[in-house]
Structures are given as C-alpha cells and as structure tokens.
C-alpha cells in the first residue's frame, strides 16, 4: 500500500560481490553447518525466474481485484493452487469485514463559477486494461463517512498540523469549510483527521502535478507519471488508532465476532472525503481568493495558489455501500522438523485498488517465486528446522485488513511461535530498502552482502552503501563508511507488517528494491501490466533480487542453529533515539522560549504587512526539563547485556554445539515481545510496541519511542516523564531477557 | 537597475521611536552642535511630501525614457530645472557612449515543430502607458553581439557554473548549442558569459512564471506579477570586468576620448543573446527531449522540464544599431562653507528601460524631494560645512554608464574630495535596506533609529531588527538581538555606487526600502505609473521615509564636526570575512578529498542508473593549506588601531573642540581609499577595492575579499597566498592610517 520508497539505512568496508567462501562465518550457524547452508542458498538463488514472474504478474493484474470483487477471489484461489502445486500445505482463511464502496460521489464548484468534477479516470487506447470500467472501483477514499456539504473552500497544503499553524498566522480558518489538500507530506488519512479537528466539514485530496504528475516526467501512457485525470484511491480510516476492520478492533473478524455498529466505529472519518485528479482540482484551486500560498505550498499547476477561504464554494457528496465483504487470505505452510513450533512468516498482499501490477503484484511475484523455489527444494528433500508460513493477504489496501484480522485471530499462537515476519509490497529498480526490528539489522546486512545487484554487479549492500555515501549528510556518510552494518530504518506503517510488530511484538522486516523508477500511477487504474512493462522493472531482475533477498533471509531464519538476533545493534540504535529525544526536547524548549519572547517583544506586530497581515501565534507553555535518567539507566543495562550476549553467542557458535539450543531459540523469539507493554500507547492501546509506531499525525512515518516522542512533539509535557519510565521499563525487560539468555548460553565475562 | 531587495543586516536593544532628546549624542557632532543638528533634521523631516513625489513620478514615467530617447533628454532637462528652482547650482554633463539598440530580433523553433516567438509585450487597455509602442525599446539584451545561429536547444537552469557541472554529470553538452536559461540565480550577464565559456553559440533568457509570474500572484493588470508576454530587458555587458561605456574603459567618454573599436570591446558578449517571455519560452521548452531536469531546476510552466540537447532546434538572430548615443547626467551642487572641498555625493539614475516608474523613478522621487527640502533649508539660510552634490544619472540601465563615465572623468577630484557616495535606485514598502562601507555601519544604524517606519510606527531600525530576529538563523538572530549595530550588507554591483566604491574607493552606501511588495514587471513596459499606484508604495510613505533616511544621512555627513566613520565595525566585519574564507578553504578541501575518494571507490559507477546514467565527475587537485597569517596579523593591527581610534574619537568629541578637526576629516576621507590597490583585481584591474567586488561569476552578488575568495572558489590555489598578502597589505594600510588618525586626535591608550 505504501508508495514511498525508504531505502535500507546501512555500512562498512564492502567488497565487490563474489560467492562467499564456504568457511566465511554465517550468523546463526555452527561452523559445520555453514557449508550445507551455503550450498542450499546457491541452489535456491538460481531458481527464481524472471520470465515466470512476468507471467504471474500478467495473470494477477489482468483484471481489477479489490476486496469483494470477483477477480480478488479468483486470484486468491489461483494463488492457493500455486502454493499447493509447489508442494505447500495451503488453505484460504476468510474474514468478514466492513469495506465501504462508493454509491454516490459529487464534487462541484458552485460559486463564483460552476464546474462539475469528472471523478473518472480516462481509458487509454494504448493501455489494454484501462478500459475495464465495469470492474473498476471508482476513485474514492475508503472509510470516508457519508456526507453532503456545501461550503467555502480552503487550500491547506498537505493538511498536516504545521500547515494549520501557518494558516492561523495568516488569519485563515477552516471552520465550516471544505479543505483541499495535496497528496503527500503524510499518510492520506491524516488529512481529514486534522481537518476535522480544526472544524472543517469536508475534505478533498488531490494529486498535484508537481509531486507525481508532469513535473517529474511525461505522463502516462507516454511516460510513467500521473495524467490529468489520474486519481489516487486509498483508505482514510484512522489507522494510527488501529488498523484492520473498523468493527472488530483487537479480534479477528470471523463470522461470529462481536461487531461495533458502523456509527460507533472510531476509525471512520468524521467528515466526508474524496480524492480528485489535478484535472478536477485545477478549476477549484483557480477559483480561490484570499492570501497567496507560501512558496513551499505551491504546486505545479499554472495558477496562483491561494489559501481562500472563498470565494470558491464547493459541493461535496459522498455515499457508500456499507455492507460487509469477505476477505480471502491465502496461508501456506512448509512444516519444520526439530523446531517446528517456531514459525518464520513471510507475506505480501494480493488485493489491489484496481489492477495493481506495481502495488502489490510486483512484490507478490517475488514471494510466489520464493515459494516455488522453496517448494522445489522441499520436493528434493530439503527440510527446514523451523516451520515456514507464506501468506498472500487480502484487504491490505483498505486498511491492512487481511493481515490484521489474521494476526488478531491467531494472536496467542503467534505470540508463542512467531520468530519473525518478513513483508514485501511493491518492488522496483534500484536500492535494497530494509526497515525493521534492529535486533535483525546485523542479520539483514549479512543477507544484503550475499545478493547481487542486477544493474551494477556489486552486492545489494555495496550499491546501497555507495548511494548512502554519495547522498548523505557528512555524519550519515561517516556512518555509512565506517559502521560495520548499514543502518536499517524503523517501521512505521503502510503495509502488512504493522499488526505483527505493533500489536504483537513479532520481530519484523519490510523488504523491497526501489529508488530508480519514478511514477504517478499509484492507486489508479494505470497501475497495470502495461505501465510496469514500460516504466519499471520490466525485465524482473529486481523481482528476482527481491526473491533472493527474502528467500535467503527466510532460509537462514528457518535453518539457523542459533537464531541470528543481535542486541548490540538494537542497543546502539535505541541510544541514537534517546539522544534524539533529548535534543528534540531541548530544541522544542528553545523554540517555545524564543517564540514567546518574540511575541512579548511585539515582533509580529512590528513586521505585519497591512496588505498581507500576520497574526502573532499563541504563547505556549514553556517546556519543563525531563527526567531521562530511567531510560539512560535502562540503556546502560541493555548495552552491557547485549555485549555480554554477543561474546557468549560467539563462543557458543564457535564451539559448534549447544546442548540447550532449542531452549535458547525459544527465548530469543520472545526478545521482541519484551519491548511491548500490555497497556499499549496512550489513547491507542492496540499499539503495544514501546520503540516503534506510526505517528498519530504522520500515519506512515514512524515515531521511535513513540510515547515519549509524541508527548514532546505535541507539548503534552505532563505525560513525558511517565512515558520515559514506560519506555525505560521495556528496555529493562529486554536487558533482563538478554542477560538471562547469556547465562543460558553459559556466557558472561 | 538591480531588482533584488537585500535588506540591511542590523541589531541591539531597540526602543520604540520617539524624537531623540536633544542631549542624546549624535555621532560626529560636538555636544554643543547636537541641538542645532536635531532641530535642522526635525525641520527637514517634515518637508518631503508624498503628493509631490507622486506627481513627479507621474511626470517622469509618462513616456519611455531610455538612453538616446527624446524623453530621456526631456526628463534630464526637467530635472535640471527642478534643481535650479530648488536653489541648487546645477548643470547637465554629457558623454557619448556605445549603446546598441535592436534592429532585428528572431527566435524561432525550427524542429521538431515550428513556432515563432512574438518578442512583443502586449498593450493592456487598463494600463494607459503600455500602448506607447512607437517610443518603447523592443525587448532585448543590450551589448549582445550580433549573430545569426541555428542550433539544438539545451536548458541550463540559471546558467551559472554549478549548473554546467550538473549538466556534465548527466552527459549533456552545450557545445554548439543555444542555451535557454531562466532569469535569476545570478546577474543576467553571467549567463551568456558562462554559456560561451562552455562552447554554446547562442543564449536565450526567459522569465519563469515560478520566479516572477503567476506563481507569486495574479499577473498584471489584475495583480503585480509578470504576464505571459512580459519580458525582462537588460544589459549583458561583462560588467564584472568593467562597467560603463565598453569603448572607453577607465576614462570618461567625452567627445575627445580615445575609443576602442566595437570589435575590440571586451565587455560585449561572445554569443548572441535575447530575453524572451514565458509565453514565448513554453513551446521551446516543451519541445526539449533528453534527461528530465533536476527538481530544483523546474519552473512553473505546466510541462516536463527537460535538459535537451534537442530534438528542439532554434533559430536565433540578433542585430543592433551600434551607434554612439548621448548621456545626460544632471549634476547639482549646494556649496559648503568651512570644509567646502569635502564632497558628500548623492545619486539615483533617471534613465529607464521603458517607463520605469519603479526602476528608477521610485528612488529618484525621493532624491528629488530631498533636494527640494535641502534647497528650501538653503533658501532659509542654512549652510552645510561640506559641499553637497546631487546627481541624476543617465544610462544606468545599459551598464552604469552615466555614473561610471562621470566618475572616470572626475576621478582625481573625487579621490581628493569625496567623503561618501549615497545611492538609491528602486524603492518600495517594507524594510530599510542598507549596503555599503562598514566604516559607515555605525553611522547608518544611528540614522535608521531616527526615521519612523510608516506602517508599524516604530523606527526603521526597530522594524528591521524584528524581521531579522523572526527570520534569521539562530546565530544571525543572536547577532540581531545582541550586537550594538545591525549589520549592513557589503556592496556587490547593480547600481551607480559601483564606480565610486569599486573603482575609486569612495565610502559608499546603497539605500532603499523593500521586502513587502512582490512584482513581475521589472524592465518591462508594465513598470509604469499604473502598476506602481496599484501594487507598490502608492501612498509614497516609503518614498518619504527614504527621503528622510537619505536626507538625514547627507545632512549629518555634511554637517558633522568630525566625520562619523567608525573602524571597529569595519575590523569586526573583516574578521567575519576572514573566518569565512578559512572555513571556505576547509570546506572546499574536504569536498575535493571526499569527491576524489568517491571517484576512486567507484561509487558513481555503482549507482549509475542504466536508464538515466550519471558520469563520474573529474578528479580535482587537492586543496593546499593556505597561509592566512598575514591577513590575521593585519586584522590584529586594525582591531587594535580601531579601538584606540574609537577612544580617542570619543574623548575628542566629548571635549567639544578639536583644533585640527579639518585635517582629521581630510584624513578620514582617505580611509576607504586605503583599502584599494592600484593594480586592482586579477584580470579586472578596473576593480581596485580589496574588500568588496561583484563576483566574476555572480555579477550582482558581492564577493568579499574578492581576490582570495575567487581564488579559492575557482580552485586557483596558486593565486591564493599572493591574494591573501595583497588583502593583508590593504588592511595594514588601513590600520596605519587609523593609527595615525588616533595620534592626530591626540589619542592612544
């Protein structure tokens, strides 16, 4: 679902890729196991076939396949058959979820002139699937409340909280107005949420041509970018509160589940929302009066961007069919042997907003190719220590429905058995992106070193390091050159890993290549096979590379003698977060003091231009000092425990035997769980991880140590010390677990 | 001429404006002189009359009045009459200069489609002077060489050197091509100069709507911004080599002056150049192929900006009438008394590209209003110690012709007698902008404190400080709050101060309000009375404020007992420049080392996208360490001398008498001259000031300690130590002069 590419943050002195010699250590494997694992990986790496991936993409993206559509079900059944034919134990698991589909949509300018939005993407003769209008879901934002409003229009830039501060300074209120926001700058669901908090009665979201239209290249079908009538569909449910079915928070949406009434569902928007094309947006924006938009807000339309309110008045009507729809999650299993009750889980969604060749089929074809290869190995007699579960999720687009309901339905088992969850979604040419649990950072660096980048011939690791060095700030460049491991990003939200990591504390990874292909077909009817074959990884060599990266990661996790978690990287990463929080507090404190002084000194009054007046902002409560000591103490414990563990781990692996390996592995699986808190985050108890969460006001973007960070960002100073203590407790739990693991390993120094 | 507003850089704990009490010290005045000076200033400040300024603007901008036009001469004669009627001793001084005017202009797209540029601004019914086509100078760039070329087109962003590095990385060459550059990012004359250095055969310059068109507001006549057919005229002579008449470098262009042949004049462009509107540019840019322009290069047209070269081919033809034209400088004098051979000079140009209400009449009306007020005081019996000279320059637009030729013709007298030159040009609403000699920084802070800002009611100083605090970086904010004086900018080029400061070393100031009015009529037929009355300082209250600031500065300089130069600010400012140069060297050294390492490590190769390849840049010679010691030693001397002078000055003023005041003042006048070097800057000996010069590759933008700075920036390391020594020698000369002044004052501590 998430469109943005965020590349793996990584480092070290890299080597051009060559097959690693068999005696190179492999994290998690005893010396005597390395050769067999390397041989297996060599066999595995040769199996993914770009030609096959292309044909699978053609099949799966041949018709629109959103939740509830006939082809969504057909695809699920076809995927099921593939898994079975590959030798997997597979089934479909159903859930019944609230998924509104549009019945009536109106956007029209009523004053000072009239214009009726087309709200319809144009079929293009060059593009053979763009004319499947009968099956296409009209452009809309799922989980917009029904509504029918006519009100003055206000342009709010990206519609994030900072934009409203700017509007207020310019004396523009959105109270009683319909806002029009650009896509981008946050996850789309933030826009109506923040608009409603400020009193708006409706919300339009449009794709500005500067962001993914003609400014970035020729528009489809001549180029990859968004044409004038292209619209980005998407969910606007309040997923930072909880994802999944709005009616069944925290439990699987089975037939018998207890459901909220639609009117009670807290994640449905408070105001009606519709997405529109820039073709439809231009007449609306051009009709706005009021102050001229700040330079940074202006887009690529050949107009003067103004803020309003008015004289443009807009009529917005949204009405949906609110019936339940059935999800088809495809779940496939390769049973493990000696540690079969440890599960390595891999997933990618199969549903799309329309044809979805890029989103999600470009990732799914890699997953299915891995499954084919693993199945072939299985047929040849290979067995993994641990059980491997591959999932093709339904309903990701409307709100991570399929993965969330499955995770909620199987929560207890997963808490007990899940080793890790590996996700992918869209994939394209470029750089390996890795986000995830930092206890797996070292592990994924090892994998990235062993997979060749198809364009440069060096390892995916090496190419990424090169990009980091070339494009980073001096500090990040030093990091990329000198740190042993390239850094990986933390997980926010935007794809199916969310419930694993955020709700259960299962160590998770999100994997995908990207960064070279530009495009503007995201969530439109033009995200299809024709587009992908002309403007993205058309030779599927990055599809193969993703299958190699994910497949090798799965193989290593499933076969490891000792699970390859490393806590030194985790501890060091948390340390950077804490430093970050400390300087965030200091910066906020300085800003507030400075701003208050500026207000008291009358500077806003002195500089207000009578022809374009500025209102002084409100005085803010000065920021108190915070007590970071508990978190710093906990970090000391974790740092100490982690380096002791690393020594004990190295000794144990070098010895090549470990009597209690199974017990150690069972405890290792719980390490990520230790970072969760049963009461969850403030006002959103579904989110239990104390290190990572999507931001309440960013949506996709991660907030690390979210309780503390959001308290500081939102000026809720009274919460900050308590949140520090809660985060500290989680880090202490982790330190205790890691220490006890060291003891179990017979370590300590 | 210069369009950009660069506000006074200033600081301190300011007070809301009230008439300063008579016993507040006034820099340069003995205690017993303060009251009389304050009384005089109070009378003076009440005299400038907005209504009169408006009528003068209406008169002077009523018809086009470029060099050589009938109305240019009429205006000069009218201005002469005004001065005379105000009681001044005035005359017109003529020069005969090369000023090409267009005979033939063609811009047409010949491949892959055809389009012929209109090259004609549209008369607008609402705007009564826009239809004076018979008298309007067609849109062109003066001093473009004649030429007739047809070649592939390449888009070069702003056409500055860094843009060509970017093009090279993308494998785009301009050799044999016609470049199209956006206005902005440098002075326009840099664009054809750099293009020619890179092998281009022609140059188009257009006004992108993102920069001064619809992106910033409604277009004229509905708003202040540039309409689709609006064109920015302007000179492209190589003024960083020398300004003024291209045929008479270094000498006044009198009838009898020895002249270069046109073909020998080094400041005429090497390739033909024409400015075009965005209406004419759009079809050309839209026809470009090749790589997509970097995001920062893209403008506001609804197209994909591409680099070329080709497939667009363009035919460009420029042919001018190269005859000499006559300049009419109006020079007016109020004779001094006891120190009549010390001259305080004030100027503003009167010529325009077309009607020029904003540029230059908005500044000229203030100057003329000052002259009216000073004349009235003179008629009432007031006499200044020093001689006051007011000039209305002709020929500023084509290349600072009138001021440069006058300065060159009177160089010896001016070196002996000129106390300071005060310039203005365009004026609008907002903040007081001051640039100039830092020995006058403290003085101008005093003036700014005593003139009320018309919109806020606080002093111009206070309002500027408020803006600095609100908008500055933390360091600059601290500076604005805590430093006694707000900083003033250094002078680059772009108006008539250039020959005074750069060629003679006369302490100079450039003054004007701005920062609140946006506009896109610069150097077009729409810069006229109608535009000014709708979109700028239509009540002329900022015209009055500028008259008050400039007039008071003139009065204080002309009446001071001891000239108000202060060298502590100068020394401290030079210190910031030296620090700047040191970190510039270090930064360049680091960048070169880093870049060379990246090239050697193959990072460009690893990250090159085969569909959008990047070429690794060339290895560069590593930067040597430089010997800054001579400059640091000289600075120590100057710092010491300046603070001793300041004590001696304070003691002398407090004593209220000084036997040798006249002698001290005569020496003070030479202080700025001490900063010059007779051999001038490398490759441009016309520029003799060792602290300030317009950048060889920026044109307007100042380079401080230019010999050293440009050696570092351009990687001419072999020159850097010698340039440091030359700058050090100038600073030592200044220190010696200031020390000897202190002795003359009977000071020292």
Q: What's the gap in Å between the CA of A572 and the closest CA on chain B?
A: 27
What is the average pLDDT across A590-595? 96
Q: CA-nearest residue of chain A to B590?
A: A474
Please report which helix (H) or strand (E) contains residue A654, including its range.
Answer: helix A629-655
Q: What's the gap in Å between the CA of B607 and the closest CA on chain A?
A: 6
User: What are the chain B neighbours of A217 within 8 Å (beta carbons)?
Assistant: 292, 304
State whether residue A746 sits within 8 Å of chain B by CB.
no
Residue B92 pLDDT more than 50? yes
Rounded Cα distance, A638 and A729, in Å: 11
User: Could you say which residues from 221 to 280 on chain B have a Cβ atom under 8 Å away from some Cβ of chain A?
Assistant: 223, 225
Q: Which residues pair with residue A469 across a beta bridge?
A: none
Question: So what's the pLDDT on residue B260?
Answer: 98
* Cβ <8 Å between A215 and B603: no
State whether residue A302 sits within 8 Å of chain B by CB.
yes
The answer to whether A491 and A11 have CB atoms below 8 angstroms apart is: no
Question: So what's the pLDDT on residue A657?
Answer: 80
Question: So what's the pLDDT on residue A747?
Answer: 58
Q: Please provide residue B417's backbone torsions phi and psi, each rounded to the nearest 5 degrees.
A: -115, -20
What is the average pLDDT across B266-278? 98
* Cβ <8 Å between A516 and B300: no
Residue B386 burial (10 A CB sphere; 0-12, 13-18, 19+): buried
State whether residue A614 sits within 8 Å of chain B by CB.
no
State whether residue A516 sits within 8 Å of chain B by CB.
yes
Rounded Cα distance, B446 and B569, in Å: 13
Rounded Cα distance, B179 and B312, in Å: 11
Residues B136-190: pLDDT tens digits? 999 999 999 999 999 999 999 999 999 999 999 999 999 999 999 999 999 999 9
Residues A293-338: pLDDT tens digits? 999 999 999 999 999 998 999 999 999 999 999 999 999 999 999 9
* Cβ <8 Å between A470 and B602: no
Question: So what's the pLDDT on residue A660?
Answer: 87
* Cβ <8 Å between A298 and B215: yes
Among residues A370, A438, A318, which one has the least CA distance to residue A49? A370
Residue A296 burial (CB count, 10 A): 7
Residue A13 pLDDT more than 60? no
* Cβ <8 Å between A603 and B301: no
Residue B6 pLDDT more than 90? no
State whether residue A605 sits within 8 Å of chain B by CB.
yes
Question: So what's the pLDDT on residue A31?
Answer: 94
pTM: 0.94
Asked which of A440-454, A588-602, B2-16 is least confident by mean pLDDT, the reply is B2-16
Q: What's the gap in Å between the CA of A709 and the closest CA on chain B?
A: 24
Q: What's the gap in Å between the CA of A7 and the closest CA on chain B?
A: 14
Q: What is the DSSP string of A263-321?
A: GG-TTS-SS-EEEE-HHHHHHHHHTB-SSBPPGGG--SSSS--B-EEEEEEEEEEEEEE
* Cβ <8 Å between B470 and A302: no
Q: What is the DSSP string of A397-456?
A: HHHSHHHHHHHHHTHHHHHHHEEEEEEE----SEEEEEEE-GGGHHHHHHHHHTSB-TTT
Rounded Cα distance, A177 and A200, in Å: 5
Rounded Cα distance, B139 and B64, in Å: 13
Question: So what's the pLDDT on residue A17?
Answer: 45
Among the partner-chain residues A303, A604, A612, the one whose CB lies closest to the CB of B214 is A303
Among residues B712, B737, B704, B730, which one has the least CA distance to residue B9? B704
Task: Calculate the alpha carbon distances from A86 to A122, A380, B597 in Å.
Answer: 39, 12, 49
Question: So what's the pLDDT on residue B426?
Answer: 97
**Locus of tokens 């990040």:** A476
The answer to whether B599 and B606 have CB atoms below 8 angstroms apart is: no
State whether residue B294 sits within 8 Å of chain A by CB.
no
* Cβ <8 Å between A301 and B303: no
State whether residue B612 sits within 8 Å of chain A by CB.
yes
User: What are the chain A neighbours of B612 within 8 Å (beta carbons)?
Assistant: 516
Interior angle at CA B500, CA B495 and CA B505, nearest 5: 135
User: What are the chain B neighbours of A218 within 8 Å (beta carbons)?
Assistant: 304
* Cβ <8 Å between B217 and A467: no
Q: Is the dihedral of CA A697, A699, A703, A706 positive or negative?
A: positive
Residues B26-41: pLDDT tens digits? 999 999 999 999 999 9
Rounded Cα distance, B169 and B173, in Å: 10
User: What are the chain A neighbours of B210 within 8 Å (beta carbons)?
Assistant: 298
* Cβ <8 Å between B304 and A463: no
Residue B682 burial (CB count, 10 A): 17
User: What are the chain B neighbours of A458 within 8 Å (beta carbons)?
Assistant: 606
State whether residue B613 sits within 8 Å of chain A by CB.
no
Rounded Cα distance, B347 and B327, in Å: 15
Among residues A277, A310, A276, which one has the least CA distance to residue A291? A310
* Cβ <8 Å between A302 and B304: no
Among the partner-chain residues A217, A292, A466, the one whose CB lies closest to the CB of B292 is A217
Contacts of A468 (CB under 8 A, 6+ apart): A9, A10, A11, A476, A477, A480, A486
* Cβ <8 Å between B466 and A601: yes
Testing the interface with B: which of A292, A601, A607 to mutate, by most B Cβ within 10 A? A607
Please report which helix (H) or strand (E) contains residue A629, including its range.
Answer: helix A629-655
State whether residue B301 sits within 8 Å of chain A by CB.
yes
* Size of chain A in residues: 749
State whether residue A300 sits within 8 Å of chain B by CB.
yes
Task: Calculate the alpha carbon distances from A311 to A153, A288, A725, B206, B223 in Å.
Answer: 8, 6, 51, 33, 17
State whether residue B305 sits within 8 Å of chain A by CB.
yes
Q: CA-nearest residue of chain B to A516?
A: B609
Among residues A155, A120, A113, A105, which one has the least CA distance to residue A285? A155
The answer to whether A57 and A365 have CB atoms below 8 angstroms apart is: yes
Among the partner-chain residues B301, B463, B604, the one whose CB lies closest to the CB of A302 is B301
Q: Is the dihedral of CA B578, B581, B587, B590 positive or negative?
A: negative
Q: CA-nearest residue of chain A to B291?
A: A217
User: What are the chain B neighbours of A214 within 8 Å (beta carbons)?
Assistant: 302-304
State whether residue B467 sits within 8 Å of chain A by CB.
yes
Interior angle at CA A572, CA A570 and CA A574, nearest 5: 70
Q: CA-nearest residue of chain A to B430?
A: A609
User: What are the chain A neighbours of B17 within 8 Å (beta carbons)?
Assistant: none
* Cβ <8 Å between B215 and A470: no
- Look over chain B and give the mean of its residue pLDDT values, rounded to a whole number: 95
Question: So what's the pLDDT on residue B19?
Answer: 54
User: What are the chain A neighbours of B463 within 8 Å (beta carbons)?
Assistant: 606-607
> Going by DSSP bridges, is the β-strand pair A89-98/A324-334 parallel, antiparallel, or unpaired?
antiparallel
Among the partner-chain residues A301, A305, A603, the one whose CB lies closest to the CB of B466 is A603
* Cβ <8 Å between A466 and B292: no
User: Could you say which residues from 424 to 443 on chain B have a Cβ atom under 8 Å away from some Cβ of chain A?
Assistant: 429-430
Residues B557-573: pLDDT tens digits? 999 999 999 999 999 99
C-alpha of B193 from chain center = 19
| ipTM here | 0.93
* Cβ <8 Å between A214 and B303: yes
Q: What's the gap in Å between the CA of B172 and the closest CA on chain A?
A: 17
User: What are the chain B neighbours of A606 within 8 Å (beta carbons)?
Assistant: 453, 456, 458, 462-463, 466
Among the partner-chain residues A214, A302, A598, the one whose CB lies closest to the CB of B214 is A302
C-alpha of A75 from chain center = 24
Rounded Cα distance, B18 and A152, in Å: 45
Q: What's the gap in Å between the CA of A453 and the closest CA on chain B?
A: 9
What is the average pLDDT across B35-53? 98
SS3 A86: coil
Q: How confident is the model at residue B21 (pLDDT cuts 50, 70, 90)?
A: low
Rounded Cα distance, B390 and B667, in Å: 23
Q: Please provide residue B408's backbone torsions phi and psi, each rounded to the nearest 5 degrees.
A: -65, -40
Q: How confident is the model at residue A146 (pLDDT cuts 50, 70, 90)?
A: very high
State whether residue B516 sits within 8 Å of chain A by CB.
yes
Residue A256's Cβ-side half-sphere holds a number of Cα atoms within 13 Å equal to 1
Residue B16 pLDDT more than 70? no
Q: Which residues pair with residue B150 across a beta bridge?
A: B315
State whether residue A482 sits within 8 Å of chain B by CB.
no
Residue B748 pLDDT more than 80? no
| Interchain CB contacts (distance < 8 Å): A and B | 104
Domains of chain A listed by start with CATH number: 48-98+325-559 (3.40.630.10), 101-321 (3.50.30.30), 567-744 (1.20.930.40)
């Amino acid at each position: 679902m998430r469109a943005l590419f965020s590349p793996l943050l990584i480092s070290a002195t890299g080597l051009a890729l060559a097959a690693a010699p068999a005696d190179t250590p492999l994290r998690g494997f005893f010396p005597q196991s390395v050769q067999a694992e390397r041989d297996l990986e060599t066999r595995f790496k040769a199996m993914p076939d770009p030609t096959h991936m292309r044909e699978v993409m053609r099949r799966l993206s041949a018709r629109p396949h959103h939740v509830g559509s006939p082809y969504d079900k057909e695809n699920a059944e076809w995927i099921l058959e593939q898994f079975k034919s590959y030798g997997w134990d597979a089934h479909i698991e159903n859930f019944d979820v609230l998924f509104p589909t549009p019945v009536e949509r109106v956007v029209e300018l009523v004053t000072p002139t009239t214009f009726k939005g087309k709200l319809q993407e144009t079929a293009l003769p060059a593009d053979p699937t763009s004319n499947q209008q009968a099956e296409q879901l009209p452009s809309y934002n799922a989980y917009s409340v029904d509504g029918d409003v006519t009100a003055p229009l206000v342009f709010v830039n990206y519609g994030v909280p900072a934009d409203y501060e700017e509007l207020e300074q310019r004396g523009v209120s959105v109270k009683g107005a319909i806002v029009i926001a650009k896509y981008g700058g946050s996850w789309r669901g933030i826009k109506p949420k923040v608009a409603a908090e400020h009193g708006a009665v409706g919300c339009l979201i449009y794709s500005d041509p500067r962001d993914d239209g003609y400014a970035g290249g020729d528009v489809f079908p001549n180029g990859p970018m968004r044409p004038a009538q292209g619209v980005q569909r998407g969910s606007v449910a309040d997923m930072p509160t909880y994802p999944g079915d709005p009616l069944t928070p925290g439990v699987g949406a089975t037939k018998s589940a207890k459901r909220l009434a639609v009117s009670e569902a807290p994640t449905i928007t408070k105001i009606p929302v519709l997405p529109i094309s820039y073709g439809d947006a231009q007449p609306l924006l051009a009709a706005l009066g009021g102050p001229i938009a700040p330079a940074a807000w202006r887009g690529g339309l050949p107009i003067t961007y103004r803020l309003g309110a008015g004289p443009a008045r807009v009529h917005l009507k949204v009405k949906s069919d609110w019936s339940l729809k059935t999800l088809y999650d495809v779940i496939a299993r390769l049973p493990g042997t000696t540690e079969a009750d440890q599960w390595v889980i891999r997933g990618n969604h199969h549903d799309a907003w329309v044809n979805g060749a890029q989103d999600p089929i470009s990732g799914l074809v890699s997953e299915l190719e891995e499954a084919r290869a693993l199945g072939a190995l299985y047929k040849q007699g290979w067995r993994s220590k641990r059980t491997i579960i591959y999932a093709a999720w339904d309903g990701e687009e409307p709100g991570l429905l399929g993965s969330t309901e499955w995770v909620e339905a199987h929560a207890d088992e997963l808490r007990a058995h899940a080793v890790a969850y590996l996700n992918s979604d869209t994939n394209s040419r470029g750089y390996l992106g890795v986000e995830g649990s930092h206890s797996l950072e070292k592990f994924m660096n090892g994998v990235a070193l062993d997979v060749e980048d198809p364009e440069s011939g060096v390892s995916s690791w090496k190419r990424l390091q090169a990009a980091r060095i070339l494009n980073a700030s001096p500090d990040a460049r030093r990091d990329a050159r000198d740190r042993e491991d390239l850094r990986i990003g933390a997980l926010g939200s935007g794809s199916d890993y969310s419930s694993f990591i955020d709700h259960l504390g299962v160590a998770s990874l999100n994997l995908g290549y990207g960064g070279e292909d530009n495009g503007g077909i995201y969530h439109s009817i033009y995200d299809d096979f024709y587009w992908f074959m002309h403007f993205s990884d058309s030779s599927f060599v990055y599809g193969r590379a993703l299958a190699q990266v994910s497949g090798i990661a799965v193989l290593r996790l499933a076969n490891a003698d000792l699970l390859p978690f490393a806590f030194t990287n985790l501890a060091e990463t948390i340390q950077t977060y804490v430093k970050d929080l400390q300087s965030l507090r200091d910066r906020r404190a300085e800003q507030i003091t400075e701003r208050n002084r500026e207000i008291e000194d009358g500077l806003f009054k002195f500089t207000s231009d009578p022809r374009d007046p500025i209102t002084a902002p409100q005085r803010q409560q000065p920021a108190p000092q915070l007590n970071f000591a508990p978190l710093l103490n906990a970090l000391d414990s974790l740092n100490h425990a982690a380096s002791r563990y690393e020594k004990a781990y190295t000794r144990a692996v070098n010895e090549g035997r470990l009597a209690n390996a199974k017990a150690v592995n069972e405890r290792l699986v719980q390490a990520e769980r230790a970072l969760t808190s049963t009461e969850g985050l403030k006002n959103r108890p579904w989110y239990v991880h104390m290190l990572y969460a999507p931001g309440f006001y960013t949506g996709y973007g991660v907030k690390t140590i979210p309780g503390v960070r959001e308290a500081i960002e939102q000026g809720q100073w009274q919460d900050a010390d308590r949140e520090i203590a809660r985060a500290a407790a989680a880090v202490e739990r982790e330190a205790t677990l890691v220490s006890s693991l060291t003891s179990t390993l017979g370590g300590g120094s």
